[in-house]
């Protein structure tokens, strides 16, 4: 499930990046048009309105990368030369000077360079965003990522179960991180990619899975608890079901937590026996 949650997180980031890219490209096109029009109307020898093409090139490169940035530089050169040809105040002979070639090289180089840096920056940010929402021990999504996952479930409006899982005890010879990874691996294998699993506390996990009723949620919790206990992980489950037992994350989590606490109190002798077995 951790991989599935990472995909969802990455998809959200991609949607945001797509919106930003469209805004950059649209603004770049507007600047190209405004600068070209202003050049025709206002340009005088030595005024330098053509330098504003750098803004359009930069936005295009930031939005689409180095190749489009370089293409934007070539387009700016073409628009500049066209503006000089159509202008009545700038000699057309300026088109065929060395300065036009230098302008072309500068436009293209700036576009390619900014686009390259923007591409590297976006890749680094995407990796950091994924890492920031991952638990360092288990590799599962952390509390923040789980909040986003439950918000998506609530927005979809489809019935689902929220399960909370608590690791009851550790044998004295057992490594805590190893035990946590064992629980996370077992949950991921048992639930598959369609469920959301996260580590939401020191020894606590949470699960989101499609269920139609409280009864189905209870059956799922019982099955998972039995499987984990048989594999050597002494755990207790609590559960709740949307929409029957709550319309928001806080209410659902409270209901599941109350069930977990009540079941732990009733089964405390089992936990004590587990601790004694590890002595």
Percent of the chain with pLDDT over 70: 85
- Tell me the per-residue pLDDT of 25-37, one tens digit each, with 9 for 90 and over: 999 999 999 999 9
Please count the structural domains in the chain: 2
- The answer on 125 and 155 residing in a single domain is no
**Within this chain, do residues 213 and 108 fall inside the same structural domain, yes or no?**
no
Question: 3-class secondary structure for 252-264?
Answer: HHHHHHHHHHHHH
Tell me: pLDDT of 10 over 50: no
* CATH number reported for the structural domain that contains residue 258 in this entry: 3.30.70.270
Same domain, 127 and 159: no
Lowest mean pLDDT among 77-91, 109-123, 183-197, 263-277: 263-277
- Does one domain contain both 100 and 183? no
Q: Based on the domain organization, do 172 and 222 belong to the same domain?
A: yes
The mean pLDDT value for 133-150 works out to: 82
Last residue in a domain, options 132, 166, 197: 132
278: pLDDT strictly greater than 50: no
- Statement: residue 60 has pLDDT above 90: yes
**pLDDT of res. 172:** 43
99 and 156 co-located in one domain: no
Domain that holds residue 165: 143-277
* Judgement on whether residues 128 and 20 belong to the same structural domain of the protein: yes
For the chain, give the percent of residues with pLDDT over 90. 29
Is the confidence at residue 16, as pLDDT, over 50? yes
Which one of 97, 113, 132 terminates a domain?
132
Integer-rounded Cα radius of gyration of the chain:
30
Residues 157 and 259 in one domain: yes
| Residues 127 and 181 occupy one common structural domain | no
pLDDT-based confidence at 174, cuts 50/70/90?
A: low
Give the pLDDT score at 48. Answer: 87
In a domain, 138, yes or no: no
Q: Do 191 and 270 reside in the same domain of the chain?
A: yes
- What is the tens place of the pLDDT at every residue in 182-238? 888 888 888 877 888 888 888 888 989 888 888 998 998 888 888 888 877 788 899
Sheet with 160-167: strands ordered across: 196-199, 204-209, 160-167, 235-242
Please provide residue 235's backbone torsions phi and psi, each rounded to the nearest 5 degrees: -130, 160
What pLDDT score does 34 carry? Answer: 96
């Amino acid at each position: 499930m951790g991989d599935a949650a990472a995909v969802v997180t990455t998809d959200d980031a991609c949607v945001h990046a797509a919106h930003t890219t469209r805004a950059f490209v649209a603004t770049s096109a507007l600047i190209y048009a405004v600068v070209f029009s202003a050049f025709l109307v206002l340009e005088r020898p030595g005024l330098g309105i053509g330098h504003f093409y750098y803004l359009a090139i930069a936005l295009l490169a930031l939005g689409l990368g180095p190749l489009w940035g370089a293409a934007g530089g070539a387009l700016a050169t073409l628009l500049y030369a066209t503006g000089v040809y159509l202008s009545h105040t700038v000699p057309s002979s300026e088109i065929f000077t060395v300065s036009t070639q230098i302008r072309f090289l500068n436009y293209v180089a700036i576009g390619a360079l900014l686009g390259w840096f923007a591409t590297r920056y976006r890749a680094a940010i995407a990796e950091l965003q994924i890492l920031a929402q991952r638990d360092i021990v288990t590799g599962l999504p952390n509390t923040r990522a789980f909040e986003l996952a439950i918000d998506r479930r609530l927005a979809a409006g489809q019935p689902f179960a929220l399960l909370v899982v608590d690791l009851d005890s550790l044998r004295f010879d057992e490594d805590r991180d190893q035990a946590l990874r064992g629980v996370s691996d077992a949950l991921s294998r048992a639930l598959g990619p369609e469920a959301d699993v996260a580590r939401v506390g020191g020894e606590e996990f949470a699960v989101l899975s499609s269920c139609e009723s409280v009864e189905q949620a209870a059956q799922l919790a019982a099955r998972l608890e039995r499987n984990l206990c048989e594999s050597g992980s002494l755990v207790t489950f609590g559960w709740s079901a949307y929409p029957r037992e709550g319309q928001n994350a806080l209410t659902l989590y409270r209901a599941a937590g109350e069930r977990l606490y009540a079941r732990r109190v009733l089964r405390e002798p089992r936990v004590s026996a587990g601790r004694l077995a590890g002595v």
